[in-house]
C-alpha cells in the first residue's frame, strides 16, 4: 500500500505550534515512506474561513519547508459531498431531523439530569411521512444525521495502541446542515477516500470522530485508513493552545522572535518523544529519525524559552553557505564566511548579525571603565599588518604593564572596543574593527 497523508487545517485562524507539529509529523511520515503529502483546506465553514488565513497557512508551511505534493480545497468539492449524501440516503444511512438547537439542548439537559449519557435519541427516525410534511409546512428544514450501527468499532492506533468504541454509546452525527452544507465529519471522509489517504494523522481531540468516521468509511464502501492520534500540546503553563494564541503562532515566532524554521521543526519533531531534543539542520535528518513508536501518549509542553535556546544552538551550528542568501536579503551583503564564523557563536537570532556588523563597521560609543588600562592598551597596540601572534602579544604586554589579568583586563577592553558587556571573542573581533577604530575607541572617542 502506498502511503498518502494529509494535513487539513481550517482557514479560520493562523497556524500555531500545535498545528505545525501535526503538519510536520504527517510530512515526516510521508517522506520516510516515500509517500505523498496533501494540503487540504477544510473551508466549508464559509462564515469563518478567509482567503487571508488560507494564504497565511501556505506561507507558514512553505517557511517550514513542508512542501505539499497535492493541494485541495473543500469548497471546490461540494459536488462530491452531495454525491456521498445521495448514496447514504439511498442506503438508508442518512435521515432527516427537525429539532431546533433549543429542543436538542433541552433533551440533553433532561438526559443529564437523569444520569443518562447525552446521546441523540433518534426521535426523528420514528417520524412518518405525514409528520415530516407537517414539520416542513411549519417552515422547518431538515438537517441530516448518519445512522450509526450499534456495534463495536475498533482500530489499532499508531500512537495510542488498541482503541475501542461502541456505536451504541455515540450520537448519530449530523452530516448535513439545514442549509444543505456538509459538515466536516462527512467531507473529511469523502476527501480521504477520493485522495486515497492511507493514514489519518491528527490530534487526539478527534478520537471520538474517528469512531464515527470509521463507520462512514465503511458505509461509503471505502477501505478504512490507518490512524495516529497525537496528544495535544499545551503551553508552558500546561494550558491548551488555541488558534487565537498569537505568541505561539508561526508567523509571530518567525517575524517577531526570529525563530529559524529548523529550530521549530527540531523541537516539534521531538517534543513528547523518547528522543533527546537537539538542533537538526535539515528535515532529512528528522525524517530519518522519525518513528511513531517514539511518541508518548502524554501531553507535551511547548516552552517558548526552550525554543529560543534551541534557536541559538542551531545558529551556532549553521554554516555560512546555509544563510548567505538570507543575510544578503537582510541587507548584510558584506558579511562573508569569516565574519559569520566570528559572530555566530553569539547569535540567538539571525538578525543580530546586524548588531555585530555595525560594531565592526560603523561608529560605536565606547564605554571606558578603566581609563588607565585602556590608555596603556592603546599605546601597546601593535602596528598593522596583524596576524595570529598579534593578540597574545598585545594582551601579554598589557598584562605586564598594568598588572591586571582575567576579567579585570578583558572586561574594560571589551567595553571600550565594542560598547557591549558581551559578545564574540575579542581576539576575533579586533581584526574586524581594525587599528584606527580600536585606537580611537580605547581613547574614549566615538569611532
For residues 247 and 226, what is the distance between their CA atoms, to the nearest angstrom? Answer: 33
Nearest distance, CB of residue 8 and ligand GLU, angstroms: 4
Nearest distance, CB of residue 38 and ligand GLU, angstroms: 11
**β-strand 233-234 against 300-301: which pairing, if any?**
parallel
| Residue position matching grid coordinates 508518548 | 296
Residue (43 or 370) nearer to ligand GLU, CB: 43
Answer left, alpha or beta for residue 403, where phi above 0 means left and psi between -120 and 50 means alpha: left
Cell of 380: 601597546
Nearest distance, CB of residue 202 and ligand GLU, angstroms: 4
Q: Tally helices (H) and strands (E) across the chain.
A: 19, 12
Long-range pairs, 123-131, Cβ under 8 A, ≥24 = 123/99, 124/95, 124/96, 124/97, 124/98, 124/99, 125/95, 127/96, 127/98
- Give me the torsion for CA of 276, 323, 320, 282, rounded to 10°: 30
Residue (184 or 357) nearer to ligand GLU, CB: 184
Residue (5 or 364) nearer to ligand GLU, CB: 5
Nearest distance, CB of residue 54 and ligand GLU, angstroms: 13
Residue (147 or 202) nearer to ligand GLU, CB: 202
For residues 430 and 172, what is the distance between their CA atoms, to the nearest angstrom? Answer: 73
Do 236 and 303 contact (CB within 8 A), yes or no?
Answer: yes
Residue (15 or 97) nearer to ligand GLU, CB: 15
Nearest distance, CB of residue 301 and ligand GLU, angstroms: 21
Residue (206 or 254) nearer to ligand GLU, CB: 206
Residue (9 or 249) nearer to ligand GLU, CB: 9
Nearest distance, CB of residue 211 and ligand GLU, angstroms: 13
For residues 103 and 227, what is the distance between their CA atoms, to the nearest angstrom? Answer: 35
Do 390 and 426 contact (CB within 8 A), yes or no?
Answer: no
Nearest distance, CB of residue 149 and ligand GLU, angstroms: 21
Nearest distance, CB of residue 24 and ligand GLU, angstroms: 14
Nearest distance, CB of residue 283 and ligand GLU, angstroms: 21
3-state secondary structure of 162: strand
For residues 441 and 210, what is the distance between their CA atoms, to the nearest angstrom? Answer: 68
Residue (223 or 372) nearer to ligand GLU, CB: 223
3-state secondary structure of 64: helix
Do 48 and 244 contact (CB within 8 A), yes or no?
Answer: no
For residues 446 and 105, what is the distance between their CA atoms, to the nearest angstrom? Answer: 73
Residue (42 or 235) nearer to ligand GLU, CB: 42
Cell of 285: 535528518
Nearest distance, CB of residue 9 and ligand GLU, angstroms: 5
For residues 144 and 90, what is the distance between their CA atoms, to the nearest angstrom? Answer: 13
Interface positions with ligand GLU (CB under 6 A): 8-10, 42, 184, 188, 202, 206
Q: How many CA atoms lie within 13 A of 276 on its CB side?
A: 4
**β-strand 36-41 against 70-73: which pairing, if any?**
parallel
Q: 3-state DSSP: the chain helix, strand, coil percent, rounded to 5? A: 50, 15, 35
Nearest distance, CB of residue 201 and ligand GLU, angstroms: 8
Amino acid at each position: 500500500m502506498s502511503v498518502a497523508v494529509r494535513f487539513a487545517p481550517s482557514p479560520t485562524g493562523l497556524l500555531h505550534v500545535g498545528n505545525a507539529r501535526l503538519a510536520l509529523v504527517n510530512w515526516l511520515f510521508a517522506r520516510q515512506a516515500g509517500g505523498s503529502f496533501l494540503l487540504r483546506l477544510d473551508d466549508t465553514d464559509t462564515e469563518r474561513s478567509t482567503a487571508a488565513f488560507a494564504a497565511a497557512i501556505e506561507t507558514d508551511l512553505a517557511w517550514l519547508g513542508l512542501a505539499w505534493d497535492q493541494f485541495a480545497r473543500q469548497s471546490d468539492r461540494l459536488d462530491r459531498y452531495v454525491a456521498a449524501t445521495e448514496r447514504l440516503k439511498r442506503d438508508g444511512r442518512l435521515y432527516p431531523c427537525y429539532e431546533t438547537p433549543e429542543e436538542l439542548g433541552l433533551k440533553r439537559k433532561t438526559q443529564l439530569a437523569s444520569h443518562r449519557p447525552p446521546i441523540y435519541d433518534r426521535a426523528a427516525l420514528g417520524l412518518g411521512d405525514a409528520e415530516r410534511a407537517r414539520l416542513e409546512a411549519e417552515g422547518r428544514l431538515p438537517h441530516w444525521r448518519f445512522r450509526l450501527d450499534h456495534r463495536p468499532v475498533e482500530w489499532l492506533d499508531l500512537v495510542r495502541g488498541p482503541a475501542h468504541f461502541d456505536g451504541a454509546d455515540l450520537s448519530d452525527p449530523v452530516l448535513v446542515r439545514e442549509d444543505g452544507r456538509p459538515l466536516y465529519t462527512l467531507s473529511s471522509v469523502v476527501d480521504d477516500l477520493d485522495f486515497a489517504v492511507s493514514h489519518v494523522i491528527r490530534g487526539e481531540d478527534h478520537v471520538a470522530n474517528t469512531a464515527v468516521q470509521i463507520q462512514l468509511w465503511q458505509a461509503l464502501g471505502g477501505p478504512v485508513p490507518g490512524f495516529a492520534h497525537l496528544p495535544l500540546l499545551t503551553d508552558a503553563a500546561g494550558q491548551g493552545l488555541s488558534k487565537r494564541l498569537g505568541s505561539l503562532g508561526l508567523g509571530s515566532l518567525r517575524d517577531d522572535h526570529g525563530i529559524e524554521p529548523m529550530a521549530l521543526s527540531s523541537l516539534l519533531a521531538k517534543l513528547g518523544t523518547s528522543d533527546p531534543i537537539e538542533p537538526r539542520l535539515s528535515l532529512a535528518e528528522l525524517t530519518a529519525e522519525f518513528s511513531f513508536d517514539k511518541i508518548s501518549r502524554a501531553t507535551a509542553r511547548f516552552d517558548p524559552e526552550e525554543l529560543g535556546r534551541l534557536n541559538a544552538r542551531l545558529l551556532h551550528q549553521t554554516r555560512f553557505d546555509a544563510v548567505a542568501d538570507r543575510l544578503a536579503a537582510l541587507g548584510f551583503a558584506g558579511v562573508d564566511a569569516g565574519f559569520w564564523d566570528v559572530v555566530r557563536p553569539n547569535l540567538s537570532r539571525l538578525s543580530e548579525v546586524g548588531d555585530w556588523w555595525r560594531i565592526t563597521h560603523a561608529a560605536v560609543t565606547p564605554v571606558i571603565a578603566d581609563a588607565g588600562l585602556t590608555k596603556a592598551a592603546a599605546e601597546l597596540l601593535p602596528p598593522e599588518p596583524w596576524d595570529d601572534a598579534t593578540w597574545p602579544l598585545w594582551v601579554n604586554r598589557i598584562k605586564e604593564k598594568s598588572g591586571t589579568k582575567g576579567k579585570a583586563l578583558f572586561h574594560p577592553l571589551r567595553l571600550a572596543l565594542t560598547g557591549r558587556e558581551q559578545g564574540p571573542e575579542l581576539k576575533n573581533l579586533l581584526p574586524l574593527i581594525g587599528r584606527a577604530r580600536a585606537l580611537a575607541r580605547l581613547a574614549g572617542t566615538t569611532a
